[in-house]
Amino acid sequence: MTATDSTGLRPRLARKRAGRRGDLVFRWVAQLSGILILVLIVAIAAFLLDRAVPAFRHAGLRFFTERGWSPDADHPRFGIEALAFGTVVSSICALVLAVPVALGSALFLTEVAPPRIGRWTGYLVDLLAAVPSVVYGLWGIYYLVPRLNPVERWLDQRIGFVALFHSRSATYGRSLFAASVVLAIMILPIIAAIAREVFRQVPSEAREAALALGATRWETIRISVLPYSRGGIVGAMMLGLGRALGETIAVALVLASVFKVDLHIFEPGGNTIAANIATKFGEAGASGREALIASGLVLFAITLVVNVVARGVVYRTGLAAEGRP
Amino acid sequence: MRAVALRRSAVTGGLLARRVSARRRIVDAVARLGMFLAVLVALVPLVAVLGYTVSRGARALSVQFLTHSMRGVGPLDRTGGAYHAILGTLEQVIIAGILAVPLGLLVAVYIVEYGRGPLRTAVRFLVDVMTGIPSIVAGLFIFAFWVLALHQGFSGLAAGLALAVLMLPVVVRSAEEMLKLVPDSLREASYALGVPRWRTVVSVVLPTASAGITTGVMLAVARVTGETAPLLLTAFGFDSIRTSPFRGPQSGLPLFVFSQASSAFDVAVRRAWAGALTLIVVVLVLTTVARLVTSRSRMEVG
């Protein structure tokens, strides 16, 4: 290539120009693909909104206060109050269950365990994220729910005076709590993975300074590692929350679909926006599908806000500069 | 003497200087124990899910299951299988890959090689946000766009489109990471030889990062292979073999598991477990091979 280039000025210039043209085309193609990402997100919102408008128009503000879901009836009544309630409650419970385990294991794997063991165990925890949600759902019904039953009964008998842990029917099982446990398992790997990255970003000087002062390992974590990574941890939790809010199939399988707004999370029944779309879509008529799309739009808006805020927090802590997730 | 003791405590992390009070030592031990227990608690569900799926699935899995569809299978028949669903998943994932991989690579090239200013920041940020879009919303989007607005009907292609939406950000993020690892000296060497920028990207940067990109693509494929929710709204499900992904509803393996699991009959639940085992084997093999590819290439470089 260089040999032919050095033979004369003209071919070299021609090649240069061709190279420039190729460069221009390639740059534009790449840039257009980048812009396509923007277009895609706008398109998702636009097409969902377009199909949801009839449902919103029909239900009006009752869309947010109605608890039942019969959009195809002669007198259609549907609203997302019970669904939104179930979505938020199950996700928050999942977060409460998952965060201590995720942070504890991430701390152990980055701060305490030898690096080699830390890496391999981290890989095993990541494998939890690879299991498809339908498998979690199936496992949830046939393995987890029967084993959670006695736990729920035991807790009810001990601390059942708190409504949260009481079942008035004395039956347990396919409850919001069971769904939360499955969700917790599913969001654990993402929280743990991001937390591990965040802890790794803590400069070793901060750790060494604490150790040099005679701090124990735990004290080092408390005074150097945790304060430094607070923002990242909040971001990781919110990303986990986003996952839990949108999880569909596992919840649809585990939860017995009941429309209610009720903090007795040990009682069977409940529903979430995403699970309701999955269970109702097959049998829905035209207006039923529009109602489901309307509920999906609400879910999209909620998860978008949660994700934007979470990414914003993670970016602000400087992870973005390193290009980490 | 004290310095030595301190250094030892810093190095081993276990042996503390004598001066540390009993209370602090106990707190430290309890905290370590707590963190260790957290690891165990995190691994329990992994073992339980895999173990239970393998034990239930192995009893139900058979050659008949892998080679027959559900055509004409009654609710109480022990026959029937997931052949049609496996075929559907294969086609849908290939379609998703054909769409998402080149596009994802281009976006990553834009971010790493060309992008600057607010547009680059916006694209990177939105890719991150896109990874958080619930899969059911991606399904609803393709349903509203492809099935309703464009009147294309349910099909394997529609499912492929929905899976592509989910796959795209995963491919971009992993390819971006890998492109960043390519040392600038390689690019500079190429420029110094008079190679235009785009040729440098195509024949120097991308090949150098190819092992890592392959890993990312495999992980993305593994992720979308297990997606059920979007298929419900786009492929819709079908009991017979449908070879063409372009016309008419189709099944997919995760969708098959979901519909069998929703049934009240034991024979259907058996099929669900067999399908779940098949699915988990495919996904875990993809994931593990992908990891091995990276760790090997990393060893070669290091």
Question: Model confidence over B169-185: pLDDT tens digits?
Answer: 999 999 999 999 999 99
Q: Are residues A249 and A313 in the same domain?
A: yes
- Range of A98's domain? 80-322
Do A37 and A176 share a domain, yes or no? no
Task: Give the count of beta carbons closer than 10 Å to the beta carbon of residue A57.
Answer: 11
Q: What dotted CATH number matches B83-251?
A: 1.10.3720.10
- A279-317 in b/e burial notation, b at 16+ Cβ within 10 A? bbbeebeebbbbbbbbbbbbbbebbbebbbebbbbbbeb
Does any CB of chain A come closer than 8 Å to the CB of residue B44?
Answer: no
In order, the DSSP letters of A170-230 are S--SSBHHHHHHHHHHHHHHHHHHHHHHHHHHS-HHHHHHHHHTT--HHHHIIIIIHHHTH
A174: in domain: yes
In a domain, A72, yes or no: no
| pLDDT score for B76 | 87
Among residues A22, A39, A64, the one where a domain terminates is A64
pLDDT of amino acid A258: 87
In the three-class reduction of DSSP (H, G, I as helix; E, B as strand; rest coil), residue A78 is classed as strand
Cα Rg of chain B (Å, integer) = 25
In a domain, A246, yes or no: yes
> Do B273 and B57 meet the contact criterion of CB atoms below 8 Å apart?
yes
Rounded percentage of chain A residues whose pLDDT exceeds 90: 69
Per-residue pLDDT reduced to its tens digit, B56-97 = 999 999 999 999 999 999 888 888 999 999 999 999 999 999
Look at residues B258, B215, B61, B173 and name the one whose alpha carbon lies nearest to residue A249: B258
Q: Is the pLDDT of residue A101 over 80?
A: yes
Chain B residue with minimum CA distance to A34: B107
Number of domains in chain A: 2
Residue A293 and residue A232 share a domain = yes
Q: Which residue has the higher pLDDT, A318 or B279?
A: B279
The reported pLDDT for the residue numbered A246 is 95
The answer to the question of residue A264 being in a domain is yes
Q: Which of A97, A125, A248 would you mutate first to test chain B, the one with the most B CBs within 10 A?
A: A248
CA distances from A201 to A115, A225, B129 (A): 15, 9, 22
Residues A286 and A181 in one domain: yes
Kindly state whether residues A95 and A42 are assigned to the same domain.
no
Q: Which tokens belong to B13?
A: 């992390």
Residue among B234, B83, B220 at smallest CA distance from B156: B234
ipTM of the complex in this document: 0.89
Q: What is the pLDDT of residues A178-213, one digit of tens each?
A: 999 999 999 999 999 999 999 998 999 999 999 999
For residue A233, what is the domain's CATH number? 1.10.3720.10
Query: What average pLDDT score do residues A233-245 get?
Result: 94
Tens digit of each residue's pLDDT (9 = 90 or more) over A281-300: 999 999 999 999 999 999 99
- Both A41 and A88 in a single domain? no
Q: Is residue A70 part of a domain?
A: no
B179 HSE (CA, 13 A, CB side): 23
Decide if A206 contacts A229 (C-beta within 8 A): no
**Residue A108 to residue B38, Cβ atoms within 8 A:** yes
CB contact under 8 A, B258 and A128: no
Q: What is the pLDDT of residue A17?
A: 66
In this structure, the answer to whether residues A32 and A123 fall within a common structural domain is no
Could you tell me the sign of the dihedral formed by the alpha carbons of B76, B77, B82, B84, in that order?
A: negative
Residues A159 and A280 in one domain: yes
* A127 and A50 within one domain: no
**Nearest alpha-carbon partner for A247 in A88, A62, A63:** A88
Whether A73 maps to a domain, the answer reads no
Query: What confidence tier does B6 reach under pLDDT thresholds 50, 70, 90?
Result: very low
**Closest-CA residue to B286 (of B208, B205, B198, B219):** B219
Are A279 and A207 part of one and the same domain? yes
Q: How many angstroms separate the CA atoms of A43 and A56, rounded?
A: 19
A30·B110 Cβ contact <8 A: yes
Per the domain annotation, does A103 fall within a domain? yes
Q: CB neighbours of A267 closer than 8 A, spacing ≥ 6?
A: A167, A168, A169, A171, A172, A175
Q: Are residues A136 and A13 in the same domain?
A: no
**Residue B56 Cα to chain centre, angstroms:** 24
Closest residue in A to B43 (Cα) is: A125
Among the partner-chain residues B110, B136, B258, the one whose CB lies closest to the CB of A274 is B136
B20 part of contact set with chain A, CB < 8 Å: yes
Find the residue in A nearest to B104 (Cα). A33
Rounded Cα gap, residues B269 and A142, in angstroms: 10
Q: How far is A167 from chain B (nearest CA, A)?
A: 25
Check whether residue A164 and residue A313 sit in a common domain: yes
Would you say A69 and A78 are in contact if contact means Cβ atoms under 8 Å apart?
yes
What does the pLDDT average to over A48-75?
91
Does the pTM exceed 0.95? no
Q: Is the pLDDT of residue B241 over 90?
A: yes
